[in-house]
Amino acid sequence: MAVSIRKATPEDARGIVSIWQEIVAEKAHTVMRKAFTVAQQWAYLNTLEDREAIFVAEGDGDILGFQTLDLYADYTHSMDHVGVVRTYVSAERRRQGIGRRLAETTFQFAHEQGYEKLIARVQAKNSLGKPFLESLGFTPVGTFLRQVRLDDGYDDQVIMERFLAVAPPQSTDASEAQSEGLTPKPRPLTLPETEQVEVRRARRSDFPVLVTVVSRITGRSPKVVEGELKESFLWRSYLIGATKSGLGVISWYPVDVGAYMKGLIVYPEREFEPIGGALLDTVEKDATKLRCEAALLFVKRTEPASRHLFYRRRGYVSQDMEQLHSTWREVAEELPSEDELIMLKPLRQDVSSSPSESAEEE
């Protein structure tokens, strides 16, 4: 079987989770006790910074293994040159050079991105991780004792590092230095210079901007908004839409065959249709790629009638909870939606308000 290595996209969430499930079940090679859900993995892939990545090994359309590269610290610039790697290969495909090939790609990417050193942490009892990392040039530099609690005692954790060729110095200007603190380094929000709507996924470094924008537009306290966003950032993707004179945000996530959208907000109101429309277009396009059959939009009942009309013009039809097919209702009911209305738009021509048989069987 030909195995190829490539950068993961959010659509790889399911394949990556299947590897996580395997590794977690082994109870020996990760500190995680539960595998991430597909939604969590998907959201994580969506919020990766430009300098972070997951590389996957793929064969016959299946994900066989993956390696993650994350910033060591996202609250200061002084460790921007340090990355953390984690590697997981399906048990059936180990000792076939997949881990090494993933590492070659990750190291190259890391070097290009200005990393000078990579860190890995491995449980002392993990007989696979340490020799693998040593074969890649990592050396043990210390041990955290009794760091991992197991079902039957504790395990130590060995810290390993590997230097890469020194990368050209990264520029750090004064405003970046000032941004240091206990919150993630904020990404400055640059508005486009035209009325053309630019839509992009929010990354972790957009978090402070998102908190400010959402609290300003909704008039809610930044502390409350920050708490809510922190939690939902773990499982939803946020999109930011901007023109030179307006800004909008929407969050969404796929579950089964539905794409659930919440909290479309735009400022100022006169920009609602172009920015809101571009955000909805982007979600619908991404959801179609994920084979979602319908988009479900949670709309505040108190929103102006003009917006309800706008959604209807775009093909969204309001649904009573009882009308919703049970697949979608289950998820919809989990969300506190007393003051919200659900509007549904089929994303495929053959879908009305119920998912297809084949999708239900998946």
Ligand X SMILES: CC(C)(COP(=O)(O)OP(=O)(O)OC[C@H]1O[C@@H](n2cnc3c(N)ncnc32)[C@H](O)[C@@H]1OP(=O)(O)O)[C@@H](O)C(=O)NCCC(=O)NCCS
Task: Give residues in contact with ligand X (CB under 6 A).
Answer: 23, 29, 86-89, 94-100, 120, 122, 126, 128-129, 131-132, 135
* CB nearer to ligand X: pick between 71 and 89: 89
Least distance in angstroms from the C-beta of 127 to ligand X: 6
* Rounded least distance, CB 143 to ligand X, Å: 15
- Minimum distance, C-beta of residue 97 to ligand X, in the bound complex (Å): 4
| Distance in Å, CB of 121 to ligand X, minimum | 7
Minimum Å gap between C-beta 88 and ligand X is 5
Give 92 or 338: the residue with its C-beta nearer to ligand X: 92
For ligand X, the closer CB: 118 or 265: 118
Nearer to ligand X, 88 or 207 (CB): 88
Cβ closer to ligand X: 41 or 87? 87
- Please, which residue, 106 or 319, has the CB nearer to ligand X? 106
Report the nearest approach of ligand X to the CB of residue 314 (Å): 45
How would you write the chain as a 3-class SS string?
Answer: CCEEEEECCHHHHHHHHHHHHHHHHHCCCCCCCCCCCHHHHHHHHHHCCCCCEEEEEEECCEEEEEEEEEECCCCCCCCCCEEEEEEEECHHHCCCCHHHHHHHHHHHHHHHCCCCEEEEEEECCCCCHHHHHHHCCCEEEEEEEEEEEECCEEEEEEEEEEECCCCCCCCCCHHHHHCCCCCCCCCCCCCCCCCCCEEEECCHHHHHHHHHHHHHHHCCCHHHHHHHHHHHCCCCEEEEEEECCEEEEEEEEEECCEEEEEEEEEECHHHHHHHHHHHHHHHHHHHHHCCCCEEEEEEECCCCHHHHHHHHHCCCEEECHHHCCHHHHHHHHHCCCCCEEEEEEECCCCCCCCCCHHHHHC
Residue nearest ligand X, CB atom distance: 99
Nearer to ligand X, 83 or 129 (CB): 129
Q: Say if CB 18 and CB 50 are below 8 A apart.
A: no
Q: How deeply is 266 buried, as exposed, middle or buried, from its count of CB atoms within 10 A (0-12, 13-18, 19+)?
A: buried
For ligand X, give the closer residue by CB, 103 or 242: 103
State the minimum distance, in angstroms, from the CB of residue 44 to ligand X.
17
CB of 153 to ligand X, least distance (A): 19
